[in-house]
Structure 1
Amino acid sequence: MITLENIKNHGEYIIVESVQPLRTFSSAMYNAGYGNFTYFMNRTVDKNYYPDDANEEIREYIKNKGYPLDQTVAMMTAVDMEFAQTATYKDGDTTITILVTAGLGNAVDVTRSHEYAYRVAPGTINMFIFINGNCSDEALIQALCCAVEVKTKVLHDKGILDLQSNSLATGTSTDSVLIAATQQGEFHQYGGSITRLGSLIGKGLYETLHKAVDEYIAFIEGVK
């Protein structure tokens, strides 16, 4: 099982390590897509991080930290790992463990982004959802869709704006999301919004991401 004890905060990055590879579907910066992976990294980078080749840079970073390149999924954010939020939720025989960080410096309304030039700014929402259950690939895709819907709902409820269009933001331009399943225990053929798995993600991620956004807003207001 993946529990809160599997989440280790090393200051500049958080690593989640599994005893055995997890079935994974993600939009992570490194090792995105489908696969079977054992290590899951969320890394803080400087707000002025603009390497010539970000993919090569993160490869070197992962390797230098001692993690195998073919077994590690990694995301980046300008958010300090001290603001990461974690939680575990249970429904029936399935539990999920959540890790999120939220930065909103480049919040964007995807329906209006075609109207203006891209504005470079730090800010990323990274979401890791670990399912202690057995999921079909269809369920993994649907679970990821649920996570994206939850993210947009949180931003709407918090009134987060795309500062260029002044409309409600749907996310940031650099968000990443990962769904990973142990492939043991209760089977989930589907993971949509009205399934037990999807609704569990809806409840758990909504509460956890809400806390992350609140912490980000409080920090930014404290800096001003």
Structure 2
Amino acid sequence: MIIARLATGDQVYKYNRCLVVPFLGKRKVMSTSMHNGGYREDLTAVYNQDVNPGSGRECEHCKPGQEEKIKRFMIDDLGLDYDTVAYMATIVSMDSAAVKTETYDELTVTAIATASLEVNGGRVGEKATSYEKRGKSVSLKPGTINIMVFVNADMTPGCLARSIVTATEAKTAVLQELLAGSLYSSGIATGSGTDNVMIIANAESDNTLTYAGKHGKLGELIGRMVMDAVRESLGKHMGLTRESQHSMLARLKRYGITEKSFGDKCREVCSGVSLADAIGRIHVLDSQDEIVSLTSLYVHLLDQLSWGLLSVKEVEFSGKIILQNLAEHRKTTAEWTACANADQKEWVQAMLDSFVTTVCRGTAAAIQTNQED
């Protein structure tokens, strides 16, 4: 089926768990694809493929020695020329793809994204999970944010390359706005370990663009369309939205705090309460405005400590103020167990424990007086 018609006349087809874009004319492509990637002027099509094997099964696509199988799929199942096609792979269903288009004067930009952080969302600079040497490496899991950007104008090679920078900044900006957590640290994710970008320009256009930075209209359109597409696809595929992030548990998740952390602490400070009842009460609190805002402030102190923007002393000063406000809201007393002599990791954990204990003291008091949270 056709899901989009581009300003160049090219059409975006969905079939065989892929989004396929055959080119009607000459196109310039800059991509991070491992097959026919880099700068190319000879490609006849690009596509994005869902390679999700299903729950609990290993992705065959990630294993070494799959080149012939991939080649046969391109030729036999997609009807494409193996030597003139670039592609991307993901575990995201093509039903979760988002297509965003905007036109300014005679310039039209379309961004198509499939986005997920469920498997390998991470923050740049974290410890790697693979190492490549002389052509051999350990395969990465395809969680993946894949982005295609189509421009109806011609672009210089440098402009195409700069477009990848702009698209990547846009993707990361969305993750920062959503406070999407890394799966490998307490940091905010900047992407997944297997993200890909393709920029496709119309080489037959008489309008040749040279700049794709954020100060130019091309960069603005690329940035906004990529942001909108990535944001929509994250919501479609994994329910990651502004609304889902308005949550105490969501804000604390990347620091290892879960509903069970609260449930266990509630049972510790209030004997006789069941884990189910404790967790149920935590979920009642989870999205309350005051709780979410205080949690957000508290967690951001820990972030700034890890970035070196605030000292332990500064974080302790502000953390105690937040906990006191939290305790007053929960009609209880604040807990503070952080020790200035501990190393930073232990100190952060003590701060988290203080937060959880303060919340749970309020819950325990509500249980003991038969009040609703």
Q: Tell me if TM exceeds 0.5.
A: yes
Letter in 1 for 2:97: A
By how many angstroms is 1:195 displaced?
A: 1.2
Q: Distance in 2 between matches of 1:17 and 1:192?
A: 28
Partner SS for 2:23: strand
In structure 2, the partner of 1:214 is 235
Structure 2 length-normalised TM: 0.55
Q: Distance in 2 between matches of 1:186 and 1:31?
A: 26
Compare 44-53 and 81-90 and name the one that shifted more: 44-53
**Counterpart pick for 1:74 among 87, 91, 97:** 87
Partner SS for 2:239: helix
Q: Higher RCO, 1 or 2 (CA under 8 Å, sep at least 6)?
A: 1
1:180 aligns with 2:200: yes
Partner SS for 2:69: helix
Q: 1:5 to 1:71 in 2, by over 3 A?
A: closer
Q: Which runs of 5+ in 1 are unaligned?
A: none
In structure 1, the partner of 2:248 is none
Alpha-carbon RMSD across the aligned residues, in angstroms, is 2.1
> Contact (CA 8 Å) 1:93, 1:186: kept in 2 or not?
no
**Counterpart pick for 1:113 among 127, 144, 148:** 127
Q: Distance in 1 between matches of 2:142 and 2:166?
A: 25
> Contact (CA 8 Å) 1:88, 1:97: kept in 2 or not?
yes
- Listed as ranges, the matches of 1:24-63 within 5 Å are 24-36=29-41, 37-47=43-53, 48-50=58-60, 51-63=63-75
In structure 1, the partner of 2:169 is 149
Letter in 1 for 2:51: V
Q: Distance in 2 between matches of 1:54 and 1:185?
A: 41
In structure 2, the partner of 1:9 is 14
Partner SS for 2:103: strand
Letter in 2 for 1:112: E
Q: 1:127 to 1:195 in 2, by over 3 A?
A: same
Deviations 1:121-155 (A, max 9, x none): 44111000011001111110111110010111111
Structure 1 length-normalised TM: 0.89
Letter in 1 for 2:236: E
Deviations 1:29-67 (A, max 9, x none): 321101121211111112422332244432221122220
Q: Distance in 2 between matches of 1:148 and 1:54?
A: 28
Letter in 2 for 1:49: C
In structure 1, the partner of 2:76 is 64
> Contact (CA 8 Å) 1:29, 1:176: kept in 2 or not?
no
Partner SS for 2:33: coil
Q: 1:55 to 1:155 in 2, by over 3 A?
A: farther
By how many angstroms is 1:192 displaced?
A: 1.1
1:161 aligns with 2:178: no
- Equivalences, count: 218
Q: Distance in 2 between matches of 1:178 and 1:55?
A: 21
Q: 1:120 to 1:30 in 2, by over 3 A?
A: closer
> Contact (CA 8 Å) 1:21, 1:182: kept in 2 or not?
yes
Q: Distance in 2 between matches of 1:16 and 1:132?
A: 14
In structure 1, the partner of 2:277 is none
Q: Distance in 2 between matches of 1:132 and 1:120?
A: 34
Q: 1:83 to 1:5 in 2, by over 3 A?
A: farther
Partner SS for 1:161: coil
Q: Distance in 1 between matches of 2:25 and 2:162?
A: 23
1:18 aligns with 2:23: yes
Letter in 1 for 2:6: I
